[in-house]
Amino acid sequence: MNAPRLEIDLNKIEYNARILIERLDLLGVSVTGVTKAVLGSVEITRALLRAGIKNLGDSRIENIKKIRRSHLNIPTTLIRSPMKSQVDQVVAFADISFNTEIDVINSLSLAAVKSGGIHGIVLMVELGDLREGIMPKDLKPIVKQCLEMPGITVRGIGANLACRNGVSPDHINMSKLSELAESIESSLGIHLDIVSGGNSANLNWVFGSQGPGKINNLRLGESWLLGCETLNRKQIEGLYTDAFTLVVEVIESKTKPSIPWGTLAENAFGQHKISEDCGDVEQAILAIGRQDVDPQGLYPQIDIQILDASSDHLIIQSNLPIPMGTEIKFQINYSALLRAMTSPFVEKVFYAS
Ligand SMILES: *Cc1c(COP(=O)(O)O)cnc(C)c1O
């Protein structure tokens, strides 16, 4: 088989998604399956459908197009604010988009009218993480304006935390979102179908004791992909953390000094390296690099130590020399997964355990 490759266990993914759906269903919270980290993979989307996922979210219109074109029968949501230049595609391929800018929503409205359809929007609210979102005080006037636009239907409101600044979803900010939903509904006399509280970082809050309030949806990616919550990266009870395995091949293995010699300047990535002298070591090179993976997100399954990485080389230290062609396996974190899925040099191999 080719290396490097990402081995993807579809049964573990399906199982993880099913457990999360079941646990959240008990609280009246639906799950949007977020596929951006896997580039809208059709195989993985099918596993999510088998698990009972009823709608998909992705941040890239290209991924949503891919899912649409493979005739998978499931509603899709664009979870990043649309580019004004892409509104025609957004209206054509996504059922709903997340929005914060009236100018863009106006363009969506024109595009929807032109296409003869209705496009759903969810208005994102800023709750403190300082990524996307309308400031809470501005929400009501914006909803009002949207209600008057043809071709657009306001499906709900949402928020996203724990991304830019790591602000944790808690009783205070989630109650704020519930209150906003309530006040919009009562003051404007409308019903919001979707109150989308957040991402995998919301799981500790939602399974806590105080109940989800009016929040009836979460958008989950990392938790079913890697089996962990994302505030402390702890395993979620009962979920698989090893659905993805990265397999990489050894292309050099030599006994070398542990410190470089010659005049030292910046390395390829603008860093000045300081190494500790521990005599000669067994150094090996694996055929993968920063172009394909985040070296800091690799967890080797055997006793080796990662020393460095360049664009195309991952340099490790081992106890014994490693024969050429040996394959070394790693578990990976979200950052490494994102890059490995995106790299055309990493083959994706799907299987079912
Ligand atoms: C990526 C993303 C998600 C999913 O986040 P996970 O941590 O993978 O669960 C949810 N909502 C938005 C807006 C996102 O960009």
Tell me which residue has tokens 């944790």.
168
pLDDT per position as a tens digit, 98-133:
999 999 999 999 999 999 999 999 999 999 999 999
Determine the Cα angle at 255 with ends 253 and 259, to 5°: 115
- pLDDT (average), residues 18-38: 98
Helices (H), the chain: 10-25, 42-51, 61-69, 87-93, 102-115, 139-147, 171-188, 203-206, 222-226, 334-342
CA 80–ligand 1 middle distance (angstroms): 9
Tell me which residue has tokens 């892409």.
86
Q: Is 220 in the pocket of ligand 1 (CB under 6 A)?
A: yes
Q: What is the pLDDT of residue 155?
A: 98
Q: What is the pLDDT of residue 308?
A: 95
Catalytic residue, chosen from 36, 140, 176, 348, is 36
* AA letter at 245: T
The helix/strand/coil state of 284 is strand
Burial class (CB in 10 A: 0-12, 13-18, 19+), 71: exposed
Residue 161 pLDDT more than 90? Answer: yes
pLDDT per position as a tens digit, 241-250:
999 999 999 9
Residue 319 pLDDT more than 90? Answer: yes
State the Cα–Cα distance between residues 57 and 77, nearest whole angstrom: 5
Q: What is the pLDDT of residue 274?
A: 78
Proportion of the chain above pLDDT 70, given as a percent = 100
At 51, list the tokens.
């698990």
Residue with CA nearest ligand 1 atom 14? 79
**pLDDT grade, residue 266 (50/70/90)?**
confident
Q: What is the pLDDT of residue 38?
A: 98
Task: Give the length of the chain.
Answer: 353
CA 36–ligand 1 middle distance (angstroms): 8
Nearest to 258, CA basis, from 280, 286, 285, 274: 280
pLDDT per position as a tens digit, 48-98:
999 999 999 999 999 999 999 998 989 999 999 999 999 999 999 999 999
Residue with CA nearest ligand 1 atom 6? 221
Q: Does 36 participate in catalysis according to the annotation? A: yes
Q: What is the pLDDT of residue 273?
A: 79
Ligand 1 atom nearest the C-alpha of 221 is 8
Burial class (CB in 10 A: 0-12, 13-18, 19+), 99: buried
Q: What is the pLDDT of residue 215?
A: 98
- pLDDT (average), residues 268-290: 91
Q: What is the mean pLDDT of the chain?
A: 97
Residue with CA nearest ligand 1 atom 12? 79
Q: Is 156 in the pocket of ligand 1 (CB under 6 A)?
A: no
Q: What is the pLDDT of residue 117?
A: 96
Nearest to 51, CA basis, from 223, 291, 274: 223
pLDDT per position as a tens digit, 200-230:
999 999 999 899 999 999 999 999 999 999 9
State the Cα–Cα distance between residues 203 and 195, nearest whole angstrom: 15
Count other Cβ atoms within 10 Å, centred on residue 22: 12
Q: Is 199 in the pocket of ligand 1 (CB under 6 A)?
A: yes
CA 218–ligand 1 middle distance (angstroms): 9
Count other Cβ atoms within 10 Å, centred on residue 270: 6
pTM: 0.96
Terminal-residue alpha carbon distance, the chain: 18
